[in-house]
Amino acid sequence: MFLSKSILLAVFSLTAVVLILGLVVRLMENRLTFFPGRELEAFPADYGLEAEEVGLRLGAGRDTLHGWYFAPGAPGRPVLLICHGNAGNISHRLEWLEPFIRRGYGALLFDYRGYGRSTGRPSEEKLAQDATAAYDFLVRDKGVNPRSLILFGRSIGAAPAVRLAIERPCGKIVLEGAFTNGRDMARSVFGLLPLHYFMKYRWDISGRIGKVRVPVLIIHGTRDRVVPFELGRRLAEAGNVELVSFWAVEGGDHLDAYALLGGRYYDRIAAFIEGQ
């Protein structure tokens, strides 16, 4: 009898702890997910690049998106629509982006709501809306042919990129450091604690990628300490086997393949983008 009461007390205590932690996760999910940097720490001119400053008003609301548009080197050259990760802002992506611009690619590097000079607050749905607004700007205002448009989603940016690829025509998609869904990421962070059940955001990339009808390149470092390599591999397996290519970067950490491989990184992506 004493043992049974002890077991019941332990179960009750553990359940109470999980519920409390789950409530904390739910209430603080935005703070645990998004880490925006407001201060721009670099500008295109610092890298010798010419860019047009872009400000997009979102619908009838007050929120606006800020970004930089880099015109392609020649008509018809690929244009990258970049959905960046969950930390920092666009100024922290210029070093990575520069070699693409030097190769004659165009690009739109924009900040989600709440990041950099973009106003408002981010959420899963708003990231998708922001990516759609960026896409419409390129196609409608800049006359970019959707077949020349390459959606590039890095880390959490894979979620809006894949969703956008289903809703709008594009040429190809590149995903780097991506994961399957939010619950799998939560399991990798919280271990055996079932806190993923309390999350409101789904980030269901693997559930959508099978609906993509254009070629997809998925890049993932084998030693990624932020998004486990296994999640990247499983994401590739969830896609159309005839359309998805998976590139395992040996020894790579999270989104550092460009620094690790140098020109080989850009050559491999360029071969995918420009290959038939």
Q: Give tens-digit pLDDT for 223-270.
A: 999 999 999 999 999 999 999 999 999 999 999 999 999 999 999 999
Give CA–CA dist 152/217, Å, rounded.
10
Is 254 a known active-site residue? yes
In a domain, 28, yes or no: no
Inter-CA distances, 127 with 31, 65, 164, Å: 15, 11, 10
CATH code assigned at 144: 3.40.50.1820
In a domain, 76, yes or no: yes
In a domain, 16, yes or no: no
Count the domains in the chain.
Answer: 1
In a domain, 12, yes or no: no
In a domain, 148, yes or no: yes
- If one compares 97 and 61, the residue with the highest pLDDT of the two is 97
Pairing state of beta strands 64-70 and 52-57? antiparallel
Residue given tokens 């290959």 in the structure block? 275
Q: Which of 118, 155, 184, 220 is catalytic?
A: 155
Q: What local confidence, expressed as pLDDT, does residue 8 receive?
A: 66
| Amino acid identity at 5 | K
In a domain, 27, yes or no: no
Nearest Cα residue to 97 out of 35, 132, 53, 48 = 48
Inter-CA distances, 51 with 72, 74, 80, Å: 11, 15, 14
- Which residue range(s) make up the domain with 57? 34-274
Give CA–CA dist 151/167, Å, rounded.
12
- Has residue 2 got a pLDDT over 70? no
pTM score over 0.75:
yes
Is 63 a known active-site residue? no
- If one compares 202 and 175, the residue with the highest pLDDT of the two is 175
In a domain, 7, yes or no: no
pLDDT in tens, 28-84: 677 889 999 999 999 999 999 999 999 999 977 789 999 999 999 999 999 999 999
In a domain, 114, yes or no: yes
Q: What percent of the chain has pLDDT over 90?
A: 79
